[in-house]
């Protein structure tokens, strides 16, 4: 009986989630096996007509909607901008990097190396499925004695210079991102996942 109890306790401390490695920023975990991004085969080049790969999309606010649409349910937005701003950088091969920009005037101090996906940023892919733009991001999906990592799938809608995102974990919250053009010379890194 003690033998089985020992195996059970040992099993609690071994993560059955995805194996990860930590990037140079000492914070971000990325998958060791890029096969986790199974939907990368669904990438459709026509998505580049609406998603700008020469810009970053900066988190601005969020609002409540119904599960079926992206409409603001009560015409009220909740501001989320502070000194830590979530940003997305999309690549022309269907990959995406979600990184953080710090500071009030973060764009003025942003440098090319801040966009290096080998140093920082949660990795993902975007693709077309069910006539929607969808995005899979490898990130923290829960806690079970330690961080559990996996895929968080979102639905994206683009309208002009604004990106709207709904996580499938919470289909009633829409997060709004504003597009900010970046210099062409900043796009020097090639995502390899």
**53 domain-assigned:** yes
**126 domain-assigned:** yes
> Looking at residue 79, what is its pLDDT?
76
CATH number assigned to the domain comprising residue 86:
2.40.128
**165 domain-assigned:** yes
Note the pTM of the prediction, 2 decimals: 0.85
Distances (CA, A) of 142 to 18, 67, 139: 12, 22, 9
* Beta bridge partners of residue 134, listed in sequence order: 127, 155
Helix (H, G, I), strand (E, B) or coil at 115: helix
Condensed to tens digits (0 to 9), the pLDDT of residues 22-54 reads 999 888 999 999 999 999 999 999 999 999 999
**16 domain-assigned:** no
Q: How many domains does the chain have?
A: 1
**55 domain-assigned:** yes
Phi, psi of 31 (to 5 degrees): -70, 145
Q: Which domain holds residue 176?
A: 33-186
**168 domain-assigned:** yes
**175 domain-assigned:** yes
**Position 82 confidence tier, pLDDT thresholds 50, 70, 90:** low
**125 domain-assigned:** yes
Residue 175: CB atoms within 10 A of its CB come to 19
């Amino acid at each position: 009986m003690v033998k089985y109890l020992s195996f059970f306790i040992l099993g609690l401390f071994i993560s059955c989630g995805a194996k990860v490695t930590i990037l140079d920023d000492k914070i971000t975990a990325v998958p060791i096996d890029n096969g986790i991004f199974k939907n990368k085969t669904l990438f459709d080049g026509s998505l580049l007509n609406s998603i700008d790969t020469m810009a970053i999309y900066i988190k601005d606010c969020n609002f409540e909607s119904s599960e079926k649409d992206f409409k603001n349910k009560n015409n009220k937005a909740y501001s989320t901008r502070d000194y830590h701003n979530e940003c997305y950088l999309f690549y022309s091969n269907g990959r995406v990097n979600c990184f953080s920009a710090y500071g009030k005037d973060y764009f003025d101090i942003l440098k090319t190396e801040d966009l290096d996906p080998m140093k920082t940023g949660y990795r993902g892919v975007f693709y077309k499925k069910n006539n929607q733009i969808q995005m899979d991001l490898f990130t923290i999906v829960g806690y079970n004695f330690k961080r559990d990592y996996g895929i968080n799938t979102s639905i994206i809608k683009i309208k002009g210079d604004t990106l709207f995102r709904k996580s499938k974990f919470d289909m009633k919250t829409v997060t709004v991102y504003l597009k900010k053009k970046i210099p062409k010379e900043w796009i020097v890194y090639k995502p390899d996942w």
